[in-house]
């Protein structure tokens, strides 16, 4: 057994990738891959709760995803709506706190209303915080933080000022970022918060991700020597 240096991470970020390839391997439409991907979202949330993780940020829709075909955007938005409806019923029972990070523009008004209601209703829950990165781009998030500071009349900004004006200022930076499907890049996800994150890339396609895969990623993270620039 490898030596471990770190406790279980408090915050994990996940870039959920490979729904399309999962479907193509089965000669199914891309929408079938996204549907299975939504099931993997539920499994992963349950697994994270069990493992005592406090924050999970999941990249559900990037600001660049609007360039996909309209039918695919509809599928993703409908799945999101269904997920919000399910959490409307179950989040309290599971003590989940739902947070949403991203820009509001272009999102459907009914989805925005459901998001706002769910965030408000679960704000006091004390279990796992599930942060859905939705219509999210990290450069936009940093620009949003700087614009908020400018509106307060500041002349210069410190790194701490930016951290305190991100979408979720109270959330610790993710110790671990996972990306599925064998791609090894950040794709505009948590650029600011990832300054000292450990990365875990797996060839597993997102619809196949499960508790065992999450455990593997965490076990691997626990063996990393984190130095934060020191020696």
User: Interface with ligand FPP by CB under 6 A: which residues?
Assistant: 16-21, 34, 37-38, 41, 60, 65, 79-80, 83, 132, 181, 206
In the complex, residue closest to ligand FPP by CB: 20
Quote the Cα angle for 29-56-94, to 5°. Answer: 95
| Shortest CB 128 distance to ligand FPP, Å | 15
Our answer to whether residue 125 is catalytic in this structure is no
For ligand FPP, give the closer residue by CB, 22 or 149: 22
Q: Which is catalytic among the residues 17, 131, 135, 165?
A: 17
For ligand FPP, give the closer residue by CB, 181 or 197: 181
Q: Which residues face 14 on adjacent strands?
A: 58, 178
For ligand FPP, give the closer residue by CB, 65 or 215: 65
Residue whose structure tokens are 């471990």: 4
Contacts of 128 (CB under 8 A, 6+ apart): 45, 48, 49, 53, 54, 55, 56, 94, 95, 96, 97
| Shortest CB 86 distance to ligand FPP, Å | 9
- Which tokens in the block code for residue 42? 């539920």
For ligand FPP, give the closer residue by CB, 57 or 165: 57
Give the three-state DSSP class for 194. Answer: helix
For ligand FPP, give the closer residue by CB, 103 or 161: 103
CA distances (Å), 205 to each of 25, 41, 54, 93, 127, in order?
11, 13, 24, 30, 28
| Shortest CB 221 distance to ligand FPP, Å | 22
Pairing, β 129-136 against β 55-62: parallel
Our answer to whether residue 17 is catalytic in this structure is yes
Q: Which is catalytic among the residues 6, 19, 65, 135?
A: 65
| Shortest CB 33 distance to ligand FPP, Å | 6
- Chain-centroid distance of CA 215 in Å reads 17
Give the three-state DSSP class for 216. Answer: helix
Question: Cα separation of 109 and 135, whole Å?
Answer: 14
Sign of CA dihedral 40, 42, 119, 50: negative
| Shortest CB 20 distance to ligand FPP, Å | 2
Active site residues: 17, 65
């Amino acid at each position: 057994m490898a030596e471990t240096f770190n406790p279980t991470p408090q915050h994990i970020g996940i870039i959920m990738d490979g729904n399309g390839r999962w479907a193509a391997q089965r000669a199914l439409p891309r929408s079938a891959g996204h549907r299975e991907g939504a099931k993997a979202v539920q499994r992963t949330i349950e697994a994270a709760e069990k493992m005592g993780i406090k924050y999970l940020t999941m990249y559900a829709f990037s600001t660049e995803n609007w360039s996909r075909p309209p039918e695919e955007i509809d599928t993703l938005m409908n799945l999101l709506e269904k997920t919000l409806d399910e959490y409307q019923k179950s989040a309290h029972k599971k003590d989940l706190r739902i947070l949403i990070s991203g820009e509001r523009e272009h999102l459907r008004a009914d989805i925005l209303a459901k998001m706002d209601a769910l965030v408000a209703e679960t704000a006091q829950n004390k279990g796992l915080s599930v942060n859905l990165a939705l219509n999210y781009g990290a450069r936009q998030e940093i620009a949003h933080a700087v614009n908020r500071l400018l509106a307060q009349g500041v002349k210069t900004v410190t790194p701490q000022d930016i951290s305190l004006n991100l979408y979720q200022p109270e959330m610790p930076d993710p110790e671990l970022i996972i990306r599925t499907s064998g791609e090894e890049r950040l794709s505009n996800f948590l650029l600011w918060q990832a300054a000292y994150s450990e990365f875990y890339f797996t060839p597993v396609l997102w619809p196949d991700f499960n508790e065992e895969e999450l455990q593997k990623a965490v076990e691997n993270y626990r063996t990393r020597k984190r130095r934060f620039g020191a020696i």
